[in-house]
Amino acid sequence: MGCHLSPKDESQPFLEADWRSFRAKLVANEKLIRPIEPSSFSSSSSSSTADLDKVEDHQPSLITVGDKWAHTIHEPEKGCLLIATSQLDGVHIFERTVVLLLSTGPVGPYGIILNRPSLMSIKEMRSPAMGLEGTFSDRPLFFGGPLEEGLFLVSPKGAYDNDRVARSGVFVEVMKGLYYGTKESVGCAAEMVKRNVVGVGDFRFFDGYCGWEAEQLKEEIIAGYWTVAACSASVLGLHTASNLGLHGATNRGLQSDLELWEEVNGLVVPKRESYTFGLHIINKHVLLADTQNPDCKKGWHTFPQTQTTLIKTPLNPGQPPAKSFLAGMESPLYDVVILGASGFTGKYVVREALKFLNTTANPSFPLKTLALAGRNPSKLAQSLKWAAHPDPPPPIPILSADTSDPSSLRLLCSKTKLLLNCVGPFRLHGDPVVAACADTGCDYLDICGEPEFMERMEVQYHGKAAETGSLVVSACGFDSIPAEMGWMFNSRQWVGPSVPNQIEAYVSLESDKRIVGNFGTYESAVLGVANMHKLQELRRSRPKRARPVIPGPYPPKGPVIDHQKEIGLWAVKLPSADSVVVRRTLVHLTENPHGLPGVNESSEQVEKRAAFWSMMKPAHFGVKLGSKTFFGILRTITLGMFIGLLGRNAIGRWLLLKFPSFFSLGWFRKNGPTEDEVKSASFKMWFIGRGFSDINQVSQGNAKPDMEIVTRLMGPEVGYVTTPIVLLQCALILLSQRDNLPRGGVFPPGIVFGATDLQERLQQNGISFDVISKRTVQT
């Protein structure tokens, strides 16, 4: 778009005409009319009519208004203000906000929040929504709303400069003396600054904007969420705010954020007066103009203020109307953001999330607002389209964020309650994401299966997360929720006086077709071997923590290849994250025998939590990978040898990662499994618990386990079906039961979700829990 700047010519006439100012004078004139006594409306209709006659007869001369004015209007219009009412208190992102409406077009109204500074400069934020040039890099950036596009306002100080801005043809006039621009007009804005047409301080930049459906905003206004007001450009205080600069914006805090809201409210509703242009409220009655009713002499009807006939759609008191953009928007913008949604696993997580997205068909779902985030918006859009198929993709915001850009992650975390991280390997990409969540107080779940990363995050960020209220939980996929829930399910079967000594998990992957894993899982395993020494160093550097007291002797190691005839599997030890995660949960349980207290639990929930954890009995835990054939186990051992030997040096890792299909014997490939291969796959996870029928036997010296309990979990394919199911159910619990969960900190999943209804949720979504056998064994 061209930038046409006319030369400054003071001899050129300048037309100063503003219909908004003229209307403001009419409103000010009407306010001089003698107020109607409230008692008039509690008497007969004839007296009310007489009073209205007096109003009509009283017509003072037109008065003038200053350059700073505001008054309420009945219908939203371009350039008006939406002032948040007390009904939005508690809706964090809109509480005490002032929104400038930029358009009321047929597609739907949209505008920007004026009084939400981001407390960072454009240079620091590196906002992807607008390609800002260096001219404005030091300006403070304001948060304009949850929709992903940058906008800016420009308010020239002089009349002639205003005229030149208007004639440039690249900005849209909002009202007299105020214009807005988009990303495409930033270049022209910078050119105007260079030519001294406008100053840098005449601009205010916004990351994001607000939008409504065609009738949605009207419903919210009727429901009382917004006061609609017209105002002059000087009311907005753009020059005052922008001249504060970044330092001023940073130090103003919440109190200063409220200044505009308080000032506009003061102009709109002066003390001792309840006046609305087009709508009068007197003595808890509403006087609604009704020129269509011939029976009403002056065109007014009187209704009680609480009468619901004025509201066209049923509303719940204190709740936004159906389809409202504000529905469920309690701090902050989105309930969930999926980071890495365009990845192979990420797109399956998106598909699972769409099943539980709150819609008119599913109004009870806690997931009301969802957004996707990643580096490539076009790939994210493709992922959304794939996940929604065969339905058209829903209007879900797509946000730009990069794990190599901490500022983009902080901005992302400030916009959501919960972040689901699908970007692996987590050892390479996860640290800055957890750091951003811990800094901003955003809750965090991931599908990590890397022990070193999980334990390092606990060391580095547990204190900060506990301080800010960020609940950080890794391993919320197949690694390691089935293992956590499985050992707990087996442990609950040991009813006193019986106790377990050891619980071993046997994982069996099954398919009618070829079993194929994702390259990301394989890459994480290779990098895990390469960084094994770091995990050992990390553990040595940490203070010793309490160990669970397990009855009976330490179980023998057993053979390298284990043959479990009862379940029909050959098995070998699996060095996965599952055993590490379960042991971390047992450590937390030892330190907190009744579990972790919730941030705002009821007394009933406290008792329920304590009762659940009292049934948990600690035991030695390990995991083995099983196969129905001996050849399958040899294949597993071969893969383990390749990774274990070659993963220790750079050349070996290069070979492993360059040729995954060859070195994994066809189990892993870079393009992942096909849709048919995913659909045909499933898993069984057996838990064999061995222990004592009576805990008193343990004190007899060389007692050996005499009791065995076998339980089993079964479910669909592990990486792309079970993992999204598990992750989404954890997310839904976190959204709907946040008061019952720890305030913040870095924890394994078992200690956080064990006492919730996660098992029941998994059973409802295709993962079964069964008791196979309980028997005594010969000692």
pLDDT, tens digit (0-9, with 9 covering 90-100), for 249-270: 433 333 346 788 888 888 886 5
Mean pLDDT for 629-639 is 84
Interval 338-387: pLDDT, tens: 999 999 899 999 999 999 987 656 667 889 899 999 988 888 989 999 99
Mean per-residue pLDDT, 769-774: 96
The residue assigned the tokens 């996870």 is 685
> Last residue of some domain: 266, 282, 298?
282
Is residue 85 assigned to a domain?
Answer: yes
- Of 419, 417, 403, residue with least CA distance to 476: 419
pLDDT score recorded for residue 725: 98
Query: Which residue stretches of 450-548 are H helix?
Result: 451-468, 481-492, 519-530, 532-541
The answer to whether residue 659 is domain-embedded is: yes
Residue 300 domain flag: no
The rounded distance, in Å, linking the Cα atoms of 260 and 96 is: 9
* Contact of 343 with 520, CB cutoff 8 Å: yes
Query: Helices 344-355 and 723-736 meet at what angle, rounded to 10?
Result: 50
Mean pLDDT value across residues 197-224: 84
How many Cα atoms sit within 13 Å of 734 on the Cβ side? Answer: 28
Mean pLDDT confidence for 647-675: 83
If one counts every other C-beta atom within 10 angstroms of the C-beta of residue 151, the result is 25
For residues 731 and 722, what is the distance between their CA atoms, to the nearest angstrom? 14
In one-letter notation, the amino acid at residue 440 is T
Range of the domain at 542: 494-716+766-776
The neighbouring-strand residues paired with 685 are: 507, 713
Which tens digit of pLDDT belongs to each residue from 168-205? Answer: 777 888 888 889 988 888 888 888 888 888 888 888 88
Phi, psi of 598 (to 5 degrees): -80, 165
Last-in-domain residue among 282, 310, 341: 282
Q: Residue 248's domain is classified under what CATH number? A: 3.40.1740.10
Report d(CA 349, CA 396) in Å as an integer: 14
pTM above 0.85, yes or no: no
Residue 300's alpha-carbon distances to 223, 263, 592, 658, 660, in angstroms, are 21, 31, 67, 79, 79
Q: Which two tokens stand for residue 572?
A: 């070998």
Highest mean pLDDT pick, 300-309, 313-322, 440-449, 566-575: 440-449
**CB 441 within 8 Å of CB 744:** yes
Mean per-residue pLDDT of the chain: 79
Residues 425 and 577: beta-carbon distance below 8 Å:
no
Tokens of 441: 């107080």
- pLDDT at 321 > cutoff 60: no
Higher pLDDT, 85 or 126: 85
Task: Kindly state whether residue 172 falls inside one of the protein's structural domains.
Answer: yes
b/e per residue 569-592 (b: at least 16 CB within 10 A) = bbbbbbbbbbbbbbbbbbbbbeee
Weakest-pLDDT range from 244-253, 421-430, 471-480, 534-543: 244-253
Element holding 714 (H helix, E strand): strand 707-716
Provide mean pLDDT across the span 411-432: 93
Question: Helix, strand, or coil here: 715?
Answer: strand
> Which range among 321-335, 395-409, 455-469, 509-523 shows the weakest confidence by mean pLDDT?
321-335
In the prediction, which pLDDT does 355 show?
Answer: 94
Nearest-angstrom CA–CA distance, 341 and 382 = 10
Is residue 350 within 8 A of residue 387, CB to CB? The reply is: yes
How far, in Å, are 67, 589, 596, 606, 756 from residue 603 at the CA level? 58, 20, 14, 5, 15
- Please give the tally of structural domains in the chain: 2
Gap between the Cα atoms of 21 and 315, Å rounded: 36
For the stretch 101-113, what's the b/e string if a residue is b when 16 or more beta carbons lie within 10 angstroms of its beta carbon? bbbbeeeebbbbb
Name the nearest CA neighbour of 710 among 691, 736, 729: 691
118 falls in which pLDDT band (50, 70, 90)?
low
Backbone phi, then psi, for 405, in 5-degree steps?
A: -125, 90
Write the pLDDT tens digit of every residue in 679-719. 999 999 999 999 999 998 887 777 889 999 999 999 999 99
Q: Which structure tokens are listed for 123?
A: 């240079």
Domain presence at residue 648: yes
Judging by DSSP bridges, how do beta strands 499-511 and 620-627 pair with one another?
parallel
All residues at 6 or more sequence positions from 221 whose CB lies less than 8 Å from its CB, including other chains = 76, 228
Q: Give me the pLDDT at residue 244, please.
A: 42
What is the widest separation between alpha-carbon atoms in the chain? 109
The segment with the largest mean pLDDT, out of 278-292, 325-339, 354-368, is 354-368
pLDDT at 665: 80
Q: 775 in helix, strand or coil?
A: strand
747 pLDDT above the threshold of 50: yes
Whether 107 is covered by a domain: the verdict is yes
Q: How confident is the model at residue 329 (pLDDT cuts 50, 70, 90)?
A: very low
438 and 472 in contact (C-beta within 8 Å)?
A: yes
Strand, coil or helix: what is 97? Answer: coil
Average pLDDT on 261-290 reads 48
Alpha carbon distances (Å) from 63 to 141, 258, 431, 513, 629: 39, 31, 64, 84, 95
User: pLDDT class for 332, splitting at 50, 70, 90?
Assistant: low
pLDDT number for residue 283:
30
| Residue range 568-593, pLDDT digits in tens | 999 999 888 999 999 999 999 999 99
**282, 312, 338 - which closes a domain:** 282
Give, in order, the Cα–Cα distances in Å from 76 to each of 110, 299, 702, 771: 11, 22, 83, 62
First to last CA, the chain: 86
Using N-to-C axis directions, what is the helix angle for 481-492 and 723-736, rounded to 10°? 70
In a domain, 393, yes or no: no
The whole-number average pLDDT for the span 600-614 is 95
Residue 620: enclosing H or E segment and its boundaries?
A: strand 620-627
For residue 41, give every residue at least 6 positions away whose Cβ sits within 8 Å of its Cβ, in sequence order, or none: 48, 282, 283, 285, 287, 302
Degrees, nearest 5: CA angle 420-421-427: 155
Task: Give the pLDDT of residue 21.
Answer: 83
pLDDT digits (tens, 9 = 90+) for 519-572: 777 887 888 777 777 878 888 888 888 889 999 988 988 888 999 988 999 999
Q: Is position 537 within any domain?
A: yes
Taking a C-beta distance cutoff of 8 angstroms, is the pair 79, 101 a contact? yes
Q: Is the CB of residue 722 less than 8 Å from the CB of residue 683?
A: yes
pLDDT for 30 equals 73
